[in-house]
Amino acid sequence: MIIDMHTHIFPDKIASDVIEKLSRVAKISAHTNGTLAGLENSMDAAQINLSVILPVATNTHQVEKINSSAAELNEKFSDAGIFSFGCIHPDFANVRAELSRVKNCGLKGIKIHPVYQDINLDDAKFLRIFDRAAELDLIVVTHAGLDIGFPNVIRCSPQMIRHVVDAIGNFKFVAAHMGGWRNWSDVLELLADTKIFIDTAFSTGEIVPRNDFVWKPDDLKLLDAEKFLTFVKIFGADRILFGTDSPWSSQKVSVDFIKNLPLAEDDKAKILGLNAQKLLEV
């Protein structure tokens, strides 16, 4: 079973505009049209059994609507291999009640994005979210490290993740992008002895740029096989979740990257799906 723990979709009526805007800001190509149908087609091509959608609330007014929509989507499409998490915003007024509603709606976790939400991960506003999520046994997925659309802005560094773990203790916490996009040396140094999960989203192989922008070749390089294997050695295969950040990475290329690693088949199976299956309890 292959589970992609990190995907994004947008409503059909705005998907085209959103994809164009975000791809232009980040100077990268999209690998689907950003719709639910586009994700399903991508899953078929990559032979992915389940994709987890991670919505992000960029303001407090979106939170309740996004969570309600996520619950409705799950009722319709969970049997088809599509499952959405919920969201929360650090400035949302009644975090405790809304996270309870997330739990009661059957959503297994929430996604946060400190860069888009403009608050550091270890701020007290986020800590209260993590504390409540831990009480409810909800999974928390955070964007970690740099964001390709916000050069030099880090609101979720490995150091901040360490502060959160030290403050909250052990909970179901996933640091996306191999624990901190382009902060990978610090991830290995600071987070290996924690119990957090990391996902592979937008972190392996090479970035596919837009044709109308010029990149330096070295800037396109992400983690190659050798560097990825260092993470497996130090973190262990049990704590790495397969994710793509679709539509921003190709699901098929990302699956093939893991399959082609010189790893034991058991470890590949853990990364591609077994770890997520256990975490999601599916």
CATH code for the domain in which residue 210 is found: 3.20.20.140
What is the per-residue pLDDT for 122?
A: 98
pLDDT tens track for 188-218: 999 999 999 999 999 999 999 999 999 999 9
Low-confidence ranges of the chain (pLDDT < 70): none
Contacts of 20 (CB under 8 A, 6+ apart): none
Token pair recorded at residue 53: 């959608």
Q: What is the pLDDT of residues 31-72, one digit of tens each?
A: 999 999 999 999 999 999 999 999 999 999 999 999 999 999
Question: Which residue in 122, 127, 83, 129 sits closest to 105, CA to CA?
Answer: 83
Q: What is the domain count for the chain? A: 1
Q: In this predicted structure, what is the pLDDT of residue 78?
A: 80
Q: What is the DSSP string of 46-91?
A: HT-SEEEE----SSGGGHHHHHHHHHHHHHHHGGGTEEE-EE--TT
pTM of the model: 0.98
- The DSSP element (H or E) to which 114 belongs, if any, is helix 114-117
Class of residue 229 by CB neighbours under 10 A (exposed 0-12, middle 13-18, buried 19+)? middle
Domain extent, residue 239, equals 3-280
The tally of CA atoms less than 13 A away on the side-chain side of residue 148 is: 23
